[in-house]
Amino acid sequence: MKFLVLFISLCFSSSLFAQESNFTKQDISVNKHIDGTLLTPNNVKKPNLAIIIAGSGPTDRDGNQNFLKNNSLKKLAVNLTNNNIATYRYDKRIVKQLKSNNLDKNIIFDHFVTDAKSVIDYFKNTKNFNKIYVIGHSQGSLVGMLAAKDRADGFISLAGAGQSIDQVIIEQVNKTAPNFTEDTKRIFKTLREGKTTTDYPMALSSIFNIEIQKFMINWMKYNPTEVLSTLNIPILVINGTKDLQVSETEAKLLKEANKDATLKIIENMNHVLVTIEGDDLENSKSYAETQRPIAEGLIDTITNFVK
């Protein structure tokens, strides 16, 4: 029995190694803010490159933050590279700051856009890749479309909002805590005027903490549909039917904003890119589960678009 267990373990380890031996892994620092991982397929001389941009919060290159480890972006990158598409995924600058205990409290949304532009320019200058595509996940969708304009060869929105962040939050509050809807609208009205405020209910402090209001002011000035309408490159918009954070409606708004965009709704895919067959509890738990495979259909959809 011990031999059988060892044999199975060795076979499993070998299969993982064989899978990962299809590409070369290299950690690359683009600049003082950005550290990431480049995966390059071994059997393609000059592959296309997909740059993966993470969503909101202190999200690292693998799609994880704090105690929510699901490896969503790592699984996305590995699967795409096994399909002969090079990938580069990176830690958001706030991750590096937190690790060094040197958090910049003046950080704004535009800093993330600047970082994404720097990443695109870095890899364009290497001339090692045929075409460069940008994949923006969640908040990274808006970051990606702003950075991709006049730089990238194609853009993929993955669970990205179609409305400005203030409208998204107002809708979410109205659904989950309707008694705070009017307060939310009032506070956003103040922020839209470029002013900060301490007049907000404690229940909304995670959204309107005074330390993040300048970030929010900067973020909410962008309307994703307006930005996407200006892109003259191939566009793919993807959303899942089990996404608790970004509904299919948001994806449809993006599709409508650019007549040349392609829309793909993936059945039962949630926000961290895995398949959910059960209820919201299963969905929520998946945010901290690494064993779930990437949702069926996602990799093929992106691969076909890029190729």
- CB-based contact 272:294 (threshold 8 Å): no
Q: Give pLDDT, residue 21.
A: 66
CA distances from 213 to 123, 143, 188, 207 (A): 33, 18, 10, 9
Last residue of a domain, one of 221, 237, 267: 221
Q: Which residues span the domain enclosing 37?
A: 14-163+222-306
Same structural domain, 72 and 133:
yes
Tell me what percent of the residues of the chain surpass a pLDDT of 90.
Answer: 89
Average pLDDT of the residues in 198-221: 95
Q: Which residues share a beta bridge with 157? A: 136, 237
| Predicted TM-score of the model (pTM) | 0.91
Per-residue pLDDT of 75-116, as tens digits, reads: 999 999 999 999 999 999 999 999 888 888 899 999 999 999
134 and 183 in a single domain? The answer is: no
For residues 140 and 78, state if they share a domain.
yes
CA 177 from centre of chain: 26
pLDDT tens sequence across 173-188: 999 999 999 999 999 9
| pLDDT, the chain, mean | 92
Tell me whether residue 37 is in a domain.
yes
Number of domains in the chain: 2
Q: Mind spelling out the 3-state secondary structure of the chain?
A: CHHHHHHHHHHHHHHHHHHHCCEEEEEEECCCCCEEEEEEECCCCCCCEEEEECCCCCCCCCCCECCECCCHHHHHHHHHHCCCCEEEEECCHHHHHHHCCCCCCCCCHHHHHHHHHHHHHHHHHHCCCCCEEEEEECHHHHHHHHHHCCCCCEEEEECCCCCCHHHHHHHHHHHHCHHHHHHHHHHHHHHHCCCCCCCCCHHHHHHHCHHHHHHHHHHCCCCHHHHHCCCCCCEEEEEECCCCCCCHHHHHHHHHHCCCCEEEEECCECCCCEECCCCHHHHHHHHHCCCCCECCCHHHHHHHHHC
Mean pLDDT of 148-153: 97
Task: Measure the CA angle with vertex 199, ends 197 and 200; round to 5°.
Answer: 105
Read off the amino acid at residue 60.
D
Residue 2 lies inside a defined structural domain of this protein? no
Q: Identify the CATH number of the domain in which residue 281 sits.
A: 3.40.50.1820
As a dihedral over the C-alpha atoms of residue 43, residue 46, residue 50, residue 51, rounded to 10 degrees, the angle is 120
Q: What is the pLDDT of residue 18?
A: 40
Which of 7 and 284 is assigned the larger pLDDT?
Answer: 284
Statement to judge: residues 262 and 286 lie in one domain: yes
For residue 76, is it within any domain?
yes
Same domain, yes or no: 68 and 193: no
Q: Are residues 112 and 239 in the same domain?
A: yes
Predicted local distance difference test score (pLDDT) of residue 178: 96
In a domain, 216, yes or no: yes
Task: Indicate whether 212 and 233 sit together in one domain.
Answer: no
Q: What is the mean pLDDT of residues 16-42?
A: 85
Asked whether residue 11 carries a pLDDT value surpassing 90, the answer given is no
Residue 307: partners with Cβ closer than 8 Å, 6 or more residues away = 48, 85
Domain annotation covers residue 263 = yes
Query: 279 and 132, same structural domain?
Result: yes
pLDDT at 7 over 60: no
Q: Would residue 5 count as lying in a domain? A: no
Confidence of residue 16 (pLDDT cuts 50, 70, 90): very low
60, 53, 58, 24: which is closest to 118 by C-alpha?
53
Query: Using an 8 Å Cβ cutoff, are 192 and 218 in contact?
Result: no
Of the residues 194, 221, 248, the one at which a domain ends: 221
89: in domain: yes
Whether the pLDDT of residue 14 is over 70: the answer is no
Let me know whether 147 and 58 are in one domain: yes
Is residue 188 a part of any domain in this protein? yes
Mention every residue, 6+ apart, whose C-beta is less than 8 A from residue 255: 237, 261, 262, 263
Rounded CA separation 88/96 (Å): 17
- pLDDT more than 70, % of the chain: 93
d(CA 111, CA 147): 11
State both tokens at 219: 């973020």
Q: What is the mean pLDDT of residues 115-133?
A: 98
Mean pLDDT of 238-262: 96
